[in-house]
């Protein structure tokens, strides 16, 4: 299971949560946040995070690392390929 926090001590952060135990199994910092509005989704073998400030991130769920970043022009619903 995945959850994202838009504003925190470390900016935008993605969390991987074990649904069986409720424990956080990975914390993935994504950087500074322009606002607290974020969107997380999955597909095409990645976890996708978009921020209202225009940053988009692709996270590889195999190793919980950021596989790519792009500017999505500030649109929460727009993802990069």
With a cut of 70, list the residues of the chain below it in pLDDT. 33-36, 72-81
Q: Residue 81's pLDDT is what? A: 46
Please, what is the Cα angle at 23 between 68 and 61, to 5 degrees?
A: 25
Q: Does residue 21 lie in a domain region? A: yes
pTM of the model: 0.79
* Residue numbers of the domain that contains 10: 2-71
Q: Does residue 57 lie in a domain region? A: yes
The count of domains in the chain is 1
DSSP per-residue codes, the chain: -EEEESSSTTBEEEEEE-TTT--EEEEEEEE--SSS-EEEEEETTEEEEEETTSEEEEEETTTTEEEEEEE-TT-TT----
- Distance of alpha carbon 78 from alpha carbon 13, whole angstroms: 19
């Amino acid at each position: 299971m995945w959850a994202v926090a838009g504003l925190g001590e470390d900016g935008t952060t993605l969390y991987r949560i074990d649904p069986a135990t409720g424990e956080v199994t990975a914390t993935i910092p994504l950087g500074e946040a322009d606002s607290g509005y974020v969107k997380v989704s999955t597909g095409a073998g990645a976890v996708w995070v978009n921020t209202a400030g225009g940053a988009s991130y692709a996270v590889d769920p195999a190793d919980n690392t950021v596989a790519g970043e792009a500017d999505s022009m500030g649109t929460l619903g727009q993802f990069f390929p």
